[in-house]
Structure 1
Amino acid sequence: MKAAYINQVGGIDEIRIGELPMPELHDNEVMIKTLAVSVNFVDTFVRSGGFKTAMDFPFVIGRDAVGTVVEVGKAVAGFHKDELVWTNSMGYDGRPGTTSEFVAVPKSRLYSVPEGTNPIKLVASVHSSATAAILLADILQVQSGNKILIEGAAGHVGTKLATLAKSLGLKVLTTSNIRDFSKLKSLGVSESYDYHDSISAITDKFEYIVDTSGKVDLQDNLAKLTLHGQVGLITAPKTNQFTFDVRQMYTSAQAIKGFVISHASVTQLQHASELLNDNFSAGKLLDDETLQLPMEKAASAQEMLVNGNTKGKKIVLTFN
């Protein structure tokens, strides 16, 4: 089968396109014929060795995929031949990646594509959408009726956070560029603020705050939390340093919780898939503009992403 793979971690020039043996199908796995895979920053971290994880070489790159079932393992029930499915947790922790014509996916990491959902839009969405879903539902354990401030909300993760927070019954406020206010309003955001301005001017207090950019001072966010409020961290400032008033934080019973999807449990991923599929069925979370390239352009895709040449679009590699 044709695949994009590396023989060792390193630069983008380590990516090869060539023939590899078909994966072996174990009893608890489903063999899928790949339709498309998305390209995310985490793929560049795995390829470069920046994210340390178990891998066997040659190592197929890529994490997320959508495809059709071609065969099911002996211990698998619930999937059938020709069914359209998706996965978003391959390509690390000892699992081969998805940028290959065929992928053997553990049943526990495979989900059905809701009827009528555009598979390209879905695979472009799942990385940021699952990150948002797990952060809200499992890490912060948000409660309906509370308020959340999403900072930098017009980006890929930010829009998913806004959409899912609204669906979970939160009152959603955001910061973004002024030009994105109308887009965020269409997602159900109650009020938006210019992200060039200090959040100290915002009069509301929040049970939850998530900064998607790492550009807001942690102390400013803590000052805007309620008693028992929580800050969710999914990135860090360029300096990798924050200072904050520790006494004020702990006497207010506040919490700072970090999350990366690479450490999500199978249970968290499965819960997220249910929330995502509910939203996909309703036509939500599918708002990313995509840049589609053939899978043979896997190296070019990572180079574009690293160099910031995607023009805000999600790169999707497609298979003939």
Structure 2
Amino acid sequence: MKAAFIRRTGPPEVIEYGELPDPQPGPRQCLVRVRAADVNPIDVYVRSGAVPAPLSFPWIPGRDLAGEVIAVGAEVRRFKPGDRVWATGQGFAGRPGTFAELAAVDEEWLHPIPEGVEYETIVALSLVGITAHLALFRCARLIAGETVVICGAGGAVGSVALQMARLTGARVVALAGSAEKVAACREWGADLALDYHDPGLPDAIRKFAPEGVQVWIETGRNPDFDRMVGLTTLNGRMVVFAGRDARPPFPVGPFYVKNLTLYGFAMFNYPAAELRPAAEAINRWTAEGRLRIRIAHVLPLAEAARAHRLQEESTLHGRGSWFGKIVLKP
């Protein structure tokens, strides 16, 4: 099979494209012909060596895939050849990556693709959709009628979280980093959309939610906890899931006197079974046409190095005039 892979960690140029042996599915695995994969920041961190990970070289990057089952192991029960499927959580804990024409995936990590949903759409939603759902509903326990601030709502996770919160009946304050992204947040349904650089932001949120906000979802790498705590109401919940190296000041006193709760989570800590409710919600909303994802680039798998370069420039350096997901097609 053709695949994009690395023989050592380093810059995007370490990614090669060539032939690797076809994977053979185990008893509980499906062999999937990959029709689309996507690029996530974690791929950049692992490929570069910034996030240490046990890698067996040649190592295939990629967390997400969408494609069709072409063979199944003897103990597989949920899928059969011809089924369209998607998965996230690959390329980790010994599971093979997804930047390849074929992938052998444990049955428990696979989800059906609803009729009418394109491979590119569901793969772009996979990791970011699961992350957004976990943040909103497993951690923050967001319910209808509550007000939620989503900081970084112009990004992939934030934009999906914005839509999911609205679908649940919450009031959404979306904070984004440019005029273009603020406008996109309004299109996605934000009740209030602001540039997070705006010095008048705290006053605008207080006017919108005089009693304070119940939930704060922070996707940025350097959270401003003074601002978050100051704008969150009694018994509010805050969720962070970015910024491995961040060490921001934390207002302990104002935090505890409000009975606030701060959650941190990393998606890779969750077993497959705990991701299934999120996957089912993603499938339902996507099939209904109510959950969208912005795709900025669709590139051939042979250009995986270019895709990593684009993702790295955006994620680590804040450069580039584009925003959205990068999808690769074998």
Please tell me the TM-score bracket, short chain as reference.
over 0.9
Give the Å deviation of 1:234: 2.2
Q: Residue 262 of structure 1 is aligned with which of 245, 257, 268?
A: 268
Are the aligned partners of 2:124 and 2:293 in contact in 1 as well (CA < 8 Å)?
A: no
Percentage identity across aligned positions? 29
Decide which moves more: 260-269 or 147-156. Answer: 260-269
**Corresponding residue for residue 105 of structure 2:** 105
Are the aligned partners of 1:30 and 1:107 in contact in 2 as well (CA < 8 Å)?
A: yes
Distance 1:58 1:208, change over 3 A: same
Q: Residue 309 of structure 2 is aligned with which of 294, 303, 307?
A: 303
Amino acid aligned to 2:122: L
Amino acid aligned to 2:123: V
Distance (Å, rounded) in 2 between the aligned partners of 1:53 and 1:110: 23
1:239-268 CA-to-partner distances (Å, cap 9, x unmatched) read 822223212211221122122222233233
- Segments of 5+ residues of structure 2 without an aligned counterpart are 315-319
TM-score by structure 1 length? 0.92
**Corresponding residue for residue 317 of structure 2:** none
TM-score by structure 2 length? 0.90
Give the Å deviation of 1:182: 4.7
Distance 1:78 1:54, change over 3 A: same
Distance (Å, rounded) in 2 between the aligned partners of 1:54 and 1:179: 39
What number of residue pairs does the alignment pair up? 318
Distance (Å, rounded) in 2 between the aligned partners of 1:179 and 1:297: 27
Distance 1:180 1:196, change over 3 A: same
Matched, 1:17 2:17: yes
* 1:290 alignment partner, SS class: strand
* 2:311 alignment partner, SS class: helix
* 1:60 alignment partner, SS class: coil
Distance (Å, rounded) in 2 between the aligned partners of 1:125 and 1:243: 33
**Corresponding residue for residue 114 of structure 1:** 114
Are the aligned partners of 2:162 and 2:190 in contact in 1 as well (CA < 8 Å)?
A: yes
* 2:299 alignment partner, SS class: strand
Matched, 1:26 2:26: yes
Give the Å deviation of 1:160: 0.5
Are the aligned partners of 1:55 and 1:96 in contact in 2 as well (CA < 8 Å)?
A: no
Amino acid aligned to 2:192: E
Q: Any runs of at least 4 consecutive aligned residues in structure 1 with deviations exceeding 6 A, and if so which?
A: none
Are the aligned partners of 2:218 and 2:241 in contact in 1 as well (CA < 8 Å)?
A: yes
Matches within 5 A, 1:113-152: 113-152=113-152
Distance 1:275 1:300, change over 3 A: same
Q: Residue 326 of structure 2 is aligned with which of 305, 315, 318?
A: 315
Distance (Å, rounded) in 1 between the aligned partners of 2:192 and 2:313: 33
Matches within 5 A, 1:161-310: 161-176=161-176, 177-198=178-199, 199-201=201-203, 202-203=205-206, 204=209, 205-214=212-221, 217-236=224-243, 240-308=246-314, 309=320
Distance 1:185 1:310, change over 3 A: closer
Are the aligned partners of 1:55 and 1:93 in contact in 2 as well (CA < 8 Å)?
A: no
Give the Å deviation of 1:27: 0.9
Are the aligned partners of 2:10 and 2:47 in contact in 1 as well (CA < 8 Å)?
A: yes
Give the CA RMSD over aligned residues: 2.0
- Segments of 5+ residues of structure 1 without an aligned counterpart are none
Are the aligned partners of 2:295 and 2:327 in contact in 1 as well (CA < 8 Å)?
A: no
Are the aligned partners of 1:64 and 1:87 in contact in 2 as well (CA < 8 Å)?
A: yes
